[in-house]
Structure 1
Amino acid sequence: MSDLILRNDTEASVTRLVLNSDRNLNALSDGMLAELSVQLDEIAADTTVKAVILAGAGRVFCAGHDLKEMTAKRTAVDGGKAGFIDLFQRCSAVMQQITTLPQPVIAEVHNIATAAGCQLVATCDLAIAAEGTRFGVNGVNIGLFCSTPMVALTRNIPRKQAFELLTTGEFLDADQAVSLGLINRVVPAEDLQNATMELAEKIAGKLPSAVKIGKEAFYKQLEMPLSEAYDYTGQVITENMMLRDTEAMIETFINRKK
Protein backbone atom coordinates (compact mmCIF):
# COMPACT_ATOMS: atom_id res chain seq x y z
CA MET A 1 0.00 0.00 0.00
CA SER A 2 1.22 3.50 -0.84
CA ASP A 3 2.46 5.78 1.96
CA LEU A 4 0.38 8.62 0.54
CA ILE A 5 -2.63 9.49 2.71
CA LEU A 6 -4.57 10.28 -0.47
CA ARG A 7 -3.99 8.22 -3.60
CA ASN A 8 -4.85 9.35 -7.10
CA ASP A 9 -5.54 6.36 -9.33
CA THR A 10 -6.46 7.72 -12.75
CA GLU A 11 -7.76 5.39 -15.44
CA ALA A 12 -8.38 7.04 -18.80
CA SER A 13 -11.05 9.69 -18.20
CA VAL A 14 -11.94 8.61 -14.62
CA THR A 15 -9.95 9.70 -11.56
CA ARG A 16 -10.23 7.60 -8.43
CA LEU A 17 -9.24 9.47 -5.26
CA VAL A 18 -8.64 7.03 -2.41
CA LEU A 19 -8.51 8.08 1.24
CA ASN A 20 -5.51 6.04 2.35
CA SER A 21 -5.00 6.54 6.07
CA ASP A 22 -6.31 3.40 7.71
CA ARG A 23 -4.44 4.13 10.96
CA ASN A 24 -7.00 6.85 11.78
CA LEU A 25 -9.88 5.34 9.78
CA ASN A 26 -9.37 7.73 6.85
CA ALA A 27 -10.18 10.71 9.06
CA LEU A 28 -10.50 14.16 7.54
CA SER A 29 -7.39 15.35 9.34
CA ASP A 30 -5.56 18.59 8.60
CA GLY A 31 -3.30 16.67 6.23
CA MET A 32 -6.12 14.84 4.48
CA LEU A 33 -8.09 18.04 3.92
CA ALA A 34 -5.01 19.75 2.51
CA GLU A 35 -4.37 16.87 0.10
CA LEU A 36 -8.00 16.75 -0.98
CA SER A 37 -8.03 20.48 -1.68
CA VAL A 38 -4.90 20.28 -3.86
CA GLN A 39 -6.15 17.23 -5.77
CA LEU A 40 -9.59 18.73 -6.38
CA ASP A 41 -8.04 21.93 -7.73
CA GLU A 42 -5.89 19.90 -10.12
CA ILE A 43 -8.84 17.80 -11.26
CA ALA A 44 -10.98 20.89 -11.85
CA ALA A 45 -8.35 22.20 -14.27
CA ASP A 46 -7.85 18.85 -16.04
CA THR A 47 -10.17 18.61 -19.05
CA THR A 48 -9.18 14.97 -19.65
CA VAL A 49 -10.95 13.94 -16.41
CA LYS A 50 -14.67 13.37 -17.01
CA ALA A 51 -15.72 11.79 -13.70
CA VAL A 52 -14.31 11.29 -10.19
CA ILE A 53 -14.69 8.43 -7.72
CA LEU A 54 -13.99 9.09 -4.02
CA ALA A 55 -13.22 5.90 -2.11
CA GLY A 56 -11.57 4.77 1.11
CA ALA A 57 -8.85 2.16 1.57
CA GLY A 58 -8.70 -0.17 4.55
CA ARG A 59 -11.33 -0.82 7.19
CA VAL A 60 -13.79 2.01 6.56
CA PHE A 61 -14.71 4.74 4.08
CA CYS A 62 -14.27 7.64 6.51
CA ALA A 63 -14.90 8.00 10.24
CA GLY A 64 -15.05 11.80 10.30
CA HIS A 65 -12.51 14.19 11.79
CA ASP A 66 -9.41 13.06 13.69
CA LEU A 67 -10.46 13.51 17.32
CA LYS A 68 -6.93 13.03 18.68
CA GLU A 69 -5.63 15.74 16.38
CA MET A 70 -8.52 18.01 17.37
CA THR A 71 -7.90 17.44 21.07
CA ALA A 72 -4.22 18.37 20.63
CA LYS A 73 -5.31 21.83 19.48
CA ARG A 74 -6.58 22.55 23.01
CA THR A 75 -2.99 23.15 24.16
CA ALA A 76 -3.04 26.52 22.38
CA VAL A 77 -3.42 29.71 24.44
CA ASP A 78 -7.04 30.12 23.31
CA GLY A 79 -7.90 26.54 24.20
CA GLY A 80 -7.97 25.54 20.55
CA LYS A 81 -10.71 27.89 19.35
CA ALA A 82 -8.75 29.35 16.42
CA GLY A 83 -7.61 25.87 15.40
CA PHE A 84 -11.16 24.54 15.46
CA ILE A 85 -12.47 27.47 13.41
CA ASP A 86 -9.71 26.92 10.86
CA LEU A 87 -10.39 23.17 10.67
CA PHE A 88 -14.12 23.49 10.09
CA GLN A 89 -13.68 26.32 7.60
CA ARG A 90 -11.20 24.25 5.58
CA CYS A 91 -13.44 21.21 5.73
CA SER A 92 -16.40 23.27 4.55
CA ALA A 93 -14.25 24.66 1.72
CA VAL A 94 -13.36 21.14 0.55
CA MET A 95 -17.02 20.13 0.59
CA GLN A 96 -17.83 23.15 -1.56
CA GLN A 97 -14.95 22.28 -3.90
CA ILE A 98 -16.66 18.96 -4.54
CA THR A 99 -19.98 20.65 -5.28
CA THR A 100 -18.43 23.20 -7.64
CA LEU A 101 -16.09 20.71 -9.34
CA PRO A 102 -16.93 20.57 -13.07
CA GLN A 103 -16.90 16.78 -13.01
CA PRO A 104 -19.48 14.64 -11.19
CA VAL A 105 -18.13 12.97 -8.04
CA ILE A 106 -19.25 9.47 -6.97
CA ALA A 107 -18.71 8.28 -3.40
CA GLU A 108 -17.69 4.61 -3.20
CA VAL A 109 -18.62 3.76 0.38
CA HIS A 110 -17.87 0.71 2.50
CA ASN A 111 -18.34 -0.32 6.13
CA ILE A 112 -18.63 3.04 7.92
CA ALA A 113 -19.27 6.68 7.01
CA THR A 114 -19.74 8.75 10.14
CA ALA A 115 -19.84 12.44 11.09
CA ALA A 116 -17.72 14.34 8.53
CA GLY A 117 -17.42 11.04 6.63
CA CYS A 118 -21.19 10.98 6.25
CA GLN A 119 -20.99 14.65 5.28
CA LEU A 120 -18.56 13.65 2.54
CA VAL A 121 -21.03 11.07 1.18
CA ALA A 122 -23.89 13.56 1.28
CA THR A 123 -21.75 16.16 -0.50
CA CYS A 124 -20.79 13.91 -3.41
CA ASP A 125 -23.09 14.11 -6.43
CA LEU A 126 -23.74 10.35 -6.39
CA ALA A 127 -23.03 7.51 -3.99
CA ILE A 128 -22.90 3.72 -4.14
CA ALA A 129 -22.42 1.67 -0.98
CA ALA A 130 -21.50 -1.89 -0.19
CA GLU A 131 -24.00 -4.08 1.62
CA GLY A 132 -23.56 -3.72 5.38
CA THR A 133 -22.38 -0.10 5.24
CA ARG A 134 -23.60 2.15 8.06
CA PHE A 135 -24.06 5.91 8.03
CA GLY A 136 -24.26 8.25 10.99
CA VAL A 137 -23.86 11.81 12.23
CA ASN A 138 -23.29 10.62 15.75
CA GLY A 139 -21.10 13.30 17.27
CA VAL A 140 -23.86 13.92 19.80
CA ASN A 141 -22.82 10.65 21.46
CA ILE A 142 -19.60 12.38 22.59
CA GLY A 143 -21.22 15.74 23.26
CA LEU A 144 -20.49 17.27 19.86
CA PHE A 145 -23.50 18.08 17.68
CA CYS A 146 -22.63 17.46 14.00
CA SER A 147 -23.46 21.01 12.91
CA THR A 148 -21.31 21.18 9.77
CA PRO A 149 -22.21 17.67 8.54
CA MET A 150 -25.83 18.73 9.06
CA VAL A 151 -25.56 21.17 6.13
CA ALA A 152 -24.99 18.47 3.52
CA LEU A 153 -27.23 15.93 5.26
CA THR A 154 -30.29 18.20 5.31
CA ARG A 155 -29.84 18.85 1.60
CA ASN A 156 -30.12 15.11 0.95
CA ILE A 157 -32.73 13.63 3.25
CA PRO A 158 -36.01 14.81 4.85
CA ARG A 159 -35.57 17.16 7.78
CA LYS A 160 -37.30 15.08 10.46
CA GLN A 161 -35.19 12.01 9.67
CA ALA A 162 -32.07 14.19 9.60
CA PHE A 163 -32.89 15.74 12.96
CA GLU A 164 -33.52 12.34 14.50
CA LEU A 165 -30.12 11.10 13.34
CA LEU A 166 -28.40 14.23 14.62
CA THR A 167 -30.03 14.12 18.05
CA THR A 168 -29.97 10.36 18.71
CA GLY A 169 -26.60 9.47 17.22
CA GLU A 170 -28.11 6.34 15.70
CA PHE A 171 -26.96 4.76 12.44
CA LEU A 172 -28.69 4.22 9.12
CA ASP A 173 -28.07 0.95 7.35
CA ALA A 174 -27.43 0.96 3.62
CA ASP A 175 -31.02 0.12 2.65
CA GLN A 176 -32.35 2.95 4.83
CA ALA A 177 -29.81 5.29 3.26
CA VAL A 178 -31.15 4.42 -0.19
CA SER A 179 -34.76 4.88 0.84
CA LEU A 180 -34.02 8.33 2.32
CA GLY A 181 -32.01 9.42 -0.72
CA LEU A 182 -28.59 9.65 0.91
CA ILE A 183 -27.12 7.16 -1.57
CA ASN A 184 -28.14 5.90 -5.00
CA ARG A 185 -27.84 2.15 -4.56
CA VAL A 186 -26.42 -0.76 -2.58
CA VAL A 187 -24.33 -3.53 -4.12
CA PRO A 188 -22.52 -6.60 -2.78
CA ALA A 189 -19.15 -5.64 -1.31
CA GLU A 190 -17.27 -7.59 -3.95
CA ASP A 191 -19.01 -5.61 -6.70
CA LEU A 192 -18.54 -2.14 -5.19
CA GLN A 193 -15.52 -0.95 -7.16
CA ASN A 194 -16.85 -2.30 -10.45
CA ALA A 195 -20.26 -0.71 -9.85
CA THR A 196 -18.81 2.75 -9.18
CA MET A 197 -16.46 2.49 -12.14
CA GLU A 198 -19.32 1.43 -14.41
CA LEU A 199 -21.33 4.49 -13.34
CA ALA A 200 -18.30 6.78 -13.71
CA GLU A 201 -17.55 5.48 -17.21
CA LYS A 202 -21.19 5.93 -18.23
CA ILE A 203 -21.02 9.58 -17.16
CA ALA A 204 -17.57 10.01 -18.74
CA GLY A 205 -19.07 8.95 -22.06
CA LYS A 206 -21.36 11.99 -22.16
CA LEU A 207 -20.44 15.40 -23.60
CA PRO A 208 -18.24 16.95 -20.85
CA SER A 209 -19.25 20.53 -21.56
CA ALA A 210 -22.93 19.63 -21.21
CA VAL A 211 -22.34 17.76 -17.94
CA LYS A 212 -20.29 20.68 -16.57
CA ILE A 213 -23.03 23.19 -17.45
CA GLY A 214 -25.67 20.88 -16.03
CA LYS A 215 -23.94 20.19 -12.72
CA GLU A 216 -23.43 23.87 -12.00
CA ALA A 217 -27.05 24.64 -12.87
CA PHE A 218 -28.33 21.69 -10.82
CA TYR A 219 -27.03 23.12 -7.55
CA LYS A 220 -27.79 26.76 -8.32
CA GLN A 221 -31.43 26.19 -9.24
CA LEU A 222 -32.07 24.21 -6.06
CA GLU A 223 -31.62 27.40 -4.04
CA MET A 224 -33.96 29.50 -6.22
CA PRO A 225 -37.71 30.16 -6.13
CA LEU A 226 -39.58 28.27 -8.86
CA SER A 227 -40.01 31.11 -11.37
CA GLU A 228 -36.40 32.25 -10.91
CA ALA A 229 -35.19 28.68 -11.37
CA TYR A 230 -37.05 28.38 -14.68
CA ASP A 231 -35.68 31.72 -15.91
CA TYR A 232 -32.14 30.71 -14.97
CA THR A 233 -32.29 27.18 -16.42
CA GLY A 234 -33.84 28.56 -19.61
CA GLN A 235 -30.67 30.60 -20.07
CA VAL A 236 -28.50 27.60 -19.20
CA ILE A 237 -30.14 25.24 -21.68
CA THR A 238 -29.89 27.93 -24.37
CA GLU A 239 -26.17 28.22 -23.65
CA ASN A 240 -25.96 24.44 -23.94
CA MET A 241 -27.80 24.47 -27.29
CA MET A 242 -25.29 26.98 -28.64
CA LEU A 243 -22.36 24.61 -28.13
CA ARG A 244 -21.00 23.31 -31.44
CA ASP A 245 -20.62 19.78 -30.07
CA THR A 246 -24.25 19.78 -28.94
CA GLU A 247 -25.37 20.99 -32.38
CA ALA A 248 -23.35 18.22 -34.04
CA MET A 249 -24.69 15.52 -31.71
CA ILE A 250 -28.30 16.59 -32.27
CA GLU A 251 -27.76 16.55 -36.05
CA THR A 252 -26.30 13.06 -35.81
CA PHE A 253 -29.27 11.89 -33.75
CA ILE A 254 -31.79 13.38 -36.21
CA ASN A 255 -30.05 11.82 -39.20
CA ARG A 256 -29.91 8.45 -37.47
CA LYS A 257 -33.64 8.64 -36.76
CA LYS A 258 -34.27 9.41 -40.42
Structure 2
Amino acid sequence: MTDLVELERRGVVAHLTLNSPSSLNALSDAMLAALKARFTEIATSSEIKAVVLKGAGKVFCAGHDLKEMQAGRESDDKGRAYFADLFARCSEVMLMIPKLPQPVIAEVHGIATAAGCQLVASCDMAVAAEGTRFGVNGVNIGLFCSTPMVALTRNVPRKVAFEMLTTGEFIDSTRAREVGLVNRVVPHDQLDAEVSRLAETVAAKLSLAVKVGKRAFYEQITMDTRAAYEHASAVMVENMLARDTAEGVQAFIEKRKPDWAE
Protein backbone atom coordinates (compact mmCIF):
# COMPACT_ATOMS: atom_id res chain seq x y z
CA MET A 1 0.00 0.00 0.00
CA THR A 2 2.58 2.54 1.09
CA ASP A 3 4.63 1.95 -2.08
CA LEU A 4 2.19 4.42 -3.65
CA VAL A 5 3.83 6.99 -1.40
CA GLU A 6 7.57 6.39 -1.33
CA LEU A 7 9.59 7.56 1.67
CA GLU A 8 13.21 8.63 1.32
CA ARG A 9 15.15 9.75 4.38
CA ARG A 10 17.74 12.46 3.81
CA GLY A 11 19.14 12.88 7.26
CA VAL A 12 16.34 14.23 9.46
CA VAL A 13 14.13 15.20 6.50
CA ALA A 14 11.56 12.76 5.12
CA HIS A 15 10.85 13.09 1.40
CA LEU A 16 7.45 11.61 0.47
CA THR A 17 6.73 11.01 -3.22
CA LEU A 18 3.27 10.37 -4.65
CA ASN A 19 4.23 7.49 -6.90
CA SER A 20 1.52 6.91 -9.50
CA PRO A 21 2.70 8.91 -12.50
CA SER A 22 0.47 6.98 -14.91
CA SER A 23 -2.58 8.40 -13.11
CA LEU A 24 -0.96 11.81 -12.65
CA ASN A 25 -0.65 10.92 -8.96
CA ALA A 26 -4.42 11.02 -8.52
CA LEU A 27 -5.75 10.75 -4.98
CA SER A 28 -7.34 7.34 -5.45
CA ASP A 29 -8.65 5.31 -2.55
CA ALA A 30 -5.31 3.51 -2.37
CA MET A 31 -3.30 6.75 -2.60
CA LEU A 32 -5.27 8.32 0.24
CA ALA A 33 -4.74 5.21 2.36
CA ALA A 34 -1.01 5.27 1.60
CA LEU A 35 -0.72 8.95 2.50
CA LYS A 36 -2.58 8.35 5.76
CA ALA A 37 -0.24 5.48 6.60
CA ARG A 38 2.87 7.58 5.92
CA PHE A 39 1.59 10.55 7.93
CA THR A 40 0.70 8.25 10.81
CA GLU A 41 4.21 6.78 10.73
CA ILE A 42 5.90 10.18 10.61
CA ALA A 43 3.75 11.67 13.38
CA THR A 44 5.34 9.38 15.96
CA SER A 45 8.93 9.78 14.76
CA SER A 46 11.31 11.78 16.93
CA GLU A 47 14.03 11.50 14.29
CA ILE A 48 12.17 13.22 11.44
CA LYS A 49 12.31 17.01 11.76
CA ALA A 50 10.71 18.11 8.47
CA VAL A 51 8.71 16.58 5.61
CA VAL A 52 8.78 17.23 1.87
CA LEU A 53 5.81 16.12 -0.26
CA LYS A 54 6.22 15.81 -4.03
CA GLY A 55 4.92 13.91 -7.05
CA ALA A 56 6.62 11.47 -9.42
CA GLY A 57 6.53 11.99 -13.16
CA LYS A 58 5.28 15.04 -15.01
CA VAL A 59 2.96 16.53 -12.38
CA PHE A 60 2.47 16.97 -8.66
CA CYS A 61 -1.14 15.77 -8.38
CA ALA A 62 -4.21 15.96 -10.62
CA GLY A 63 -6.79 15.55 -7.87
CA HIS A 64 -9.26 12.76 -7.31
CA ASP A 65 -9.38 9.66 -9.53
CA LEU A 66 -12.42 10.44 -11.70
CA LYS A 67 -12.64 6.93 -13.18
CA GLU A 68 -12.76 5.47 -9.69
CA MET A 69 -15.39 8.01 -8.69
CA GLN A 70 -17.55 7.14 -11.68
CA ALA A 71 -17.33 3.46 -10.78
CA GLY A 72 -18.75 4.36 -7.39
CA ARG A 73 -22.03 5.30 -9.07
CA GLU A 74 -22.76 1.65 -9.78
CA SER A 75 -24.08 1.01 -6.27
CA ASP A 76 -27.80 0.98 -5.47
CA ASP A 77 -27.62 4.47 -3.96
CA LYS A 78 -25.91 5.86 -7.10
CA GLY A 79 -22.70 6.42 -5.17
CA ARG A 80 -24.01 8.53 -2.28
CA ALA A 81 -22.37 6.47 0.47
CA TYR A 82 -19.14 6.05 -1.50
CA PHE A 83 -18.82 9.76 -2.26
CA ALA A 84 -19.54 10.72 1.34
CA ASP A 85 -16.89 8.29 2.55
CA LEU A 86 -14.37 9.41 -0.09
CA PHE A 87 -14.61 13.08 0.75
CA ALA A 88 -14.51 12.33 4.48
CA ARG A 89 -11.36 10.22 4.03
CA CYS A 90 -9.74 12.88 1.87
CA SER A 91 -10.57 15.59 4.41
CA GLU A 92 -9.07 13.43 7.17
CA VAL A 93 -5.79 13.13 5.27
CA MET A 94 -5.67 16.87 4.58
CA LEU A 95 -6.30 17.61 8.26
CA MET A 96 -3.42 15.34 9.28
CA ILE A 97 -0.90 17.73 7.69
CA PRO A 98 -1.32 20.71 10.02
CA LYS A 99 -1.53 18.30 12.96
CA LEU A 100 1.83 16.69 12.20
CA PRO A 101 4.51 17.95 14.61
CA GLN A 102 6.91 18.45 11.71
CA PRO A 103 6.58 21.24 9.11
CA VAL A 104 5.42 19.89 5.73
CA ILE A 105 6.67 21.51 2.51
CA ALA A 106 4.98 20.82 -0.84
CA GLU A 107 7.44 20.54 -3.74
CA VAL A 108 5.22 21.30 -6.73
CA HIS A 109 5.76 20.94 -10.47
CA GLY A 110 3.64 20.49 -13.57
CA ILE A 111 0.11 20.89 -12.32
CA ALA A 112 -1.75 20.79 -9.01
CA THR A 113 -5.47 20.61 -9.72
CA ALA A 114 -8.64 20.23 -7.65
CA ALA A 115 -7.77 17.99 -4.68
CA GLY A 116 -4.13 18.27 -5.78
CA CYS A 117 -4.34 22.03 -5.30
CA GLN A 118 -6.06 21.32 -1.98
CA LEU A 119 -3.06 19.22 -1.00
CA VAL A 120 -0.68 22.10 -1.73
CA ALA A 121 -2.87 24.51 0.25
CA SER A 122 -2.97 22.08 3.17
CA CYS A 123 0.82 21.96 3.49
CA ASP A 124 2.58 24.38 5.82
CA MET A 125 4.74 25.78 3.02
CA ALA A 126 5.08 25.25 -0.71
CA VAL A 127 7.78 25.79 -3.32
CA ALA A 128 6.88 25.60 -7.01
CA ALA A 129 8.82 25.18 -10.20
CA GLU A 130 8.45 27.96 -12.75
CA GLY A 131 5.53 27.26 -15.07
CA THR A 132 3.59 25.13 -12.58
CA ARG A 133 -0.17 25.58 -12.97
CA PHE A 134 -2.72 25.52 -10.16
CA GLY A 135 -6.47 25.14 -10.47
CA VAL A 136 -9.68 24.17 -8.72
CA ASN A 137 -11.26 23.38 -12.04
CA GLY A 138 -13.97 20.89 -11.14
CA VAL A 139 -16.60 23.40 -12.20
CA ASN A 140 -15.51 22.76 -15.80
CA ILE A 141 -17.02 19.28 -15.57
CA GLY A 142 -19.98 20.30 -13.41
CA LEU A 143 -18.45 19.54 -10.00
CA PHE A 144 -17.75 22.56 -7.79
CA CYS A 145 -14.52 22.04 -5.83
CA SER A 146 -16.19 22.46 -2.45
CA THR A 147 -13.71 20.49 -0.34
CA PRO A 148 -10.61 21.96 -2.06
CA MET A 149 -12.26 25.33 -1.42
CA VAL A 150 -11.79 24.88 2.35
CA ALA A 151 -7.99 24.78 2.15
CA LEU A 152 -7.79 27.28 -0.71
CA THR A 153 -9.79 29.98 1.08
CA ARG A 154 -7.47 29.66 4.06
CA ASN A 155 -4.48 30.44 1.84
CA VAL A 156 -5.48 33.07 -0.70
CA PRO A 157 -7.70 36.18 -0.69
CA ARG A 158 -11.43 35.50 -0.88
CA LYS A 159 -12.04 37.05 -4.28
CA VAL A 160 -9.08 35.23 -5.83
CA ALA A 161 -10.38 31.91 -4.51
CA PHE A 162 -13.92 32.58 -5.70
CA GLU A 163 -12.71 33.49 -9.18
CA MET A 164 -10.64 30.30 -9.41
CA LEU A 165 -13.54 28.18 -8.16
CA THR A 166 -16.21 29.63 -10.44
CA THR A 167 -14.20 30.07 -13.65
CA GLY A 168 -12.15 26.89 -13.43
CA GLU A 169 -9.22 28.87 -14.82
CA PHE A 170 -5.66 28.07 -13.82
CA ILE A 171 -3.11 30.40 -12.30
CA ASP A 172 0.61 30.06 -12.92
CA SER A 173 3.35 29.79 -10.33
CA THR A 174 4.08 33.53 -10.39
CA ARG A 175 0.46 34.37 -9.61
CA ALA A 176 0.33 31.59 -7.01
CA ARG A 177 3.19 33.24 -5.18
CA GLU A 178 1.60 36.68 -5.47
CA VAL A 179 -1.62 35.48 -3.82
CA GLY A 180 0.10 33.38 -1.15
CA LEU A 181 -0.54 29.84 -2.33
CA VAL A 182 3.20 29.13 -2.54
CA ASN A 183 6.20 30.63 -0.74
CA ARG A 184 8.83 30.48 -3.47
CA VAL A 185 9.14 29.92 -7.22
CA VAL A 186 12.36 28.61 -8.75
CA PRO A 187 13.53 27.13 -12.06
CA HIS A 188 12.57 23.48 -12.37
CA ASP A 189 16.17 22.28 -12.27
CA GLN A 190 16.63 24.04 -8.92
CA LEU A 191 13.39 22.85 -7.32
CA ASP A 192 14.72 19.87 -5.38
CA ALA A 193 17.75 21.78 -4.10
CA GLU A 194 15.67 24.79 -3.02
CA VAL A 195 13.13 22.65 -1.17
CA SER A 196 15.90 20.66 0.48
CA ARG A 197 17.57 23.87 1.67
CA LEU A 198 14.31 25.13 3.12
CA ALA A 199 13.56 21.81 4.82
CA GLU A 200 17.05 21.55 6.25
CA THR A 201 16.89 25.11 7.56
CA VAL A 202 13.67 24.35 9.43
CA ALA A 203 14.94 20.94 10.58
CA ALA A 204 18.04 22.56 12.12
CA LYS A 205 15.95 24.53 14.61
CA LEU A 206 15.07 23.21 18.06
CA SER A 207 12.37 20.67 17.23
CA LEU A 208 10.54 21.28 20.50
CA ALA A 209 10.13 24.96 19.60
CA VAL A 210 8.99 24.19 16.06
CA LYS A 211 6.56 21.55 17.30
CA VAL A 212 4.85 23.75 19.88
CA GLY A 213 4.99 26.70 17.49
CA LYS A 214 3.29 24.84 14.66
CA ARG A 215 0.54 23.60 16.94
CA ALA A 216 -0.01 27.09 18.35
CA PHE A 217 0.01 28.61 14.86
CA TYR A 218 -2.99 26.56 13.77
CA GLU A 219 -4.75 26.90 17.11
CA GLN A 220 -4.57 30.70 17.29
CA ILE A 221 -5.46 31.34 13.67
CA THR A 222 -9.13 30.48 14.32
CA MET A 223 -9.39 32.67 17.46
CA ASP A 224 -10.22 36.33 17.83
CA THR A 225 -7.22 38.56 18.43
CA ARG A 226 -7.46 38.81 22.22
CA ALA A 227 -7.96 35.06 22.68
CA ALA A 228 -5.08 34.43 20.27
CA TYR A 229 -2.73 36.60 22.33
CA GLU A 230 -3.78 34.88 25.56
CA HIS A 231 -3.23 31.44 24.04
CA ALA A 232 0.09 32.39 22.42
CA SER A 233 1.32 33.91 25.68
CA ALA A 234 0.60 30.68 27.55
CA VAL A 235 2.43 28.71 24.88
CA MET A 236 5.47 31.00 25.13
CA VAL A 237 5.57 30.58 28.91
CA GLU A 238 5.80 26.80 28.55
CA ASN A 239 8.32 27.15 25.74
CA MET A 240 10.51 29.44 27.86
CA LEU A 241 10.50 26.92 30.72
CA ALA A 242 11.94 24.17 28.51
CA ARG A 243 15.52 23.19 29.32
CA ASP A 244 16.75 23.54 25.72
CA THR A 245 15.12 26.94 25.31
CA ALA A 246 16.87 28.21 28.44
CA GLU A 247 20.12 26.88 27.00
CA GLY A 248 19.42 28.50 23.61
CA VAL A 249 18.80 31.91 25.18
CA GLN A 250 21.92 31.68 27.35
CA ALA A 251 24.03 30.56 24.40
CA PHE A 252 22.83 33.58 22.42
CA ILE A 253 23.77 35.90 25.29
CA GLU A 254 27.19 34.27 25.56
CA LYS A 255 27.66 34.26 21.77
CA ARG A 256 28.18 30.51 21.50
CA LYS A 257 26.45 27.54 19.90
CA PRO A 258 23.68 26.07 22.10
CA ASP A 259 24.22 22.64 23.66
CA TRP A 260 20.77 21.23 23.00
CA ALA A 261 19.83 17.79 24.31
CA GLU A 262 17.95 16.94 21.08
Structure 1 segment 1-258 matched on structure 2, within 5 A = 4-256=3-255
Mind listing any 5+ residue stretches in structure 2 that lack a counterpart? 257-262
Q: Spell out, residue by residue over 1:79-109, the C-alpha distance to the aligned partner (whole angstroms, 9 max, x if none).
A: 1110101110000000000010000000000
Give the whole-Å Cα distance in 2 for the aligned partners of 1:14 and 1:51: 5
Structure 1: runs of 5+ lacking an equivalent: none
| TM-score of the superposed pair, with normalisation by structure 1 | 0.98
Task: Measure how far apart 1:5 and its partner are.
Answer: 1.5
The superposition leaves residues 112-136 of structure 1 with CA deviations (integer Å, 9 ceiling, x where unpaired) of: 0000000000000000000010000
Contact 2:3 2:34 in 1 (8 A): no
Give distance in 1, aligned partners of 2:13 and 2:40.
15
Cα offset, 1:11, TM superposition: 1.1
CA distance in structure 2 between the aligned counterparts of 1:204 and 1:226, rounded to whole angstroms? 29
Residue identity opposite 1:87 in structure 2? L
Alpha-carbon distance between aligned partners in 1 of 2:251 and 2:162, rounded to the nearest angstrom: 49
Q: Secondary structure at the match of 2:144?
A: coil
Give the Cα–Cα distance (whole angstroms) in 1 for the partners of residues 95 and 49 of structure 2: 19
Deviation at 1:111, TM superposition (A): 0.7
**CA–CA separation in structure 2 for the residues paired with 1:41 and 1:244:** 28
Per-residue deviation, residues 179-224 of structure 1 (Å, max 9, x unmatched): 0000001000000011100000000000001000000100111100
CA distance in 1, matches of 2:179, 2:88: 28
What is the distance in 2 between the residues matched to 1:16 and 1:97? Answer: 16
User: Could you tell me how far 1:31 is from its partner in structure 2?
Assistant: 0.3
Q: Give 1:4 shift.
A: 2.5
* Structure 1 consecutive aligned stretches of length 4 or more whose deviation exceeds 2 Å: none
- Give the letter aligned to residue 205 of structure 2: K
Q: What letter corresponds to residue 151 of structure 2 in structure 1?
A: A
For 1:173, the aligned partner's letter is: D
Q: Amino acid of the residue matched to residue 70 of structure 1?
A: M
Q: Percent identity?
A: 60
Letter aligned with residue 230 of structure 2: D
Counterpart secondary structure, 1:4: helix
Q: Tell me, what secondary structure is at the counterpart of 1:10? A: strand
- Partner SS for 2:227: helix
Work out the CA distance in 2 between the residues paired with 1:60 and 1:231: 43
Q: Distance in 2 between matches of 1:85 and 1:239?
A: 41
TM-superposed deviation, 1:6: 1.1
Q: How far apart are the structure 2 equivalents of 1:156 and 1:106?
A: 14
Question: SS state of the match for residue 78, structure 1?
Answer: coil
Question: Post-superposition shift, 1:59?
Answer: 1.2
